[in-house]
Amino acid sequence: MIKALFFDIDGTLVSFETHHVPHSAVEAIAAAKAKGVKVFIATGRPRQFINGIDEIQPYVDGYMTVNGAYCYIGGRDVRLAQIPHDSAEAMIAMSDEMSFGCIVMGLDGVAVHNHTREMDDIVEGQLNIDYKRVLIPLSEVMTQPIVQITPFFDVDTEKKVMSHIDGCQAARWYPAFCDVTSSQADKGLGLKDMARSEGFDICETMAFGDGGNDVTMLKSAGTGVAMGNARDEVKTAADYVTSTVDDGGVALALRKFVL
Q: Between the CA of residue 220 and those of 18, 114, 123, 169, 186, what are the distances in Å?
A: 30, 37, 30, 19, 11
pLDDT at 169: 94
Any bridge partners for residue 151, and if so which?
102
pLDDT in tens, 12-42: 999 988 889 999 999 999 999 999 999 999 9
Q: How far apart are CA 65 and CA 55, in angstroms?
A: 19
pLDDT (tens digit per residue) in 76-133:
999 999 999 999 999 999 999 999 999 999 998 999 999 988 888 888 887 778 888 8
Contact 91, 78 (CB under 8 A): no
Which pLDDT score, from 0 to 100, does residue 64 have?
96
Strand partners, 169: 181
**Number of helical (H) and strand (E) elements in the chain, helices listed first:** 9, 13
| CA atoms of 40 and 4, how far apart (whole Å) | 7
Tell me the average pLDDT across 139-162: 95
Distance in angstroms (rounded) separating the CA atoms of residues 103 and 52? 20
pLDDT value of residue 75: 87
- Chain-centroid distance, C-alpha 156: 24
Q: What's the pLDDT at 239? A: 98
pLDDT-derived band at 171, boundaries 50, 70, 90: confident
Position 126 scores a pLDDT of: 77
Q: pTM of the full predicted structure?
A: 0.88
Q: Give the model's pLDDT for residue 153.
A: 93
Tens digit of pLDDT for each residue in 189-232?
A: 999 999 999 999 999 999 999 998 899 999 999 999 999 999 89
Nearest-CA neighbor of 64 among 192, 182, 165, 179?
192
Predicted pLDDT at 192:
97
pLDDT exceeds 80 at position 142: yes
Q: How far is CA 139 from the centre of its chain?
A: 25
DSSP secondary structure letter of residue 145: P
**How many other CB atoms are there within 10 angstroms of residue 72's CB atom?**
17
The amino acid occupying position 30 is A
CA dist 36 and 167 (Å) reads 39
Residue 3 has pLDDT above 80, yes or no: yes
Q: How many CA atoms lie within 13 A of 259 on its CB side?
A: 15
pLDDT over 80 (residue 174): no
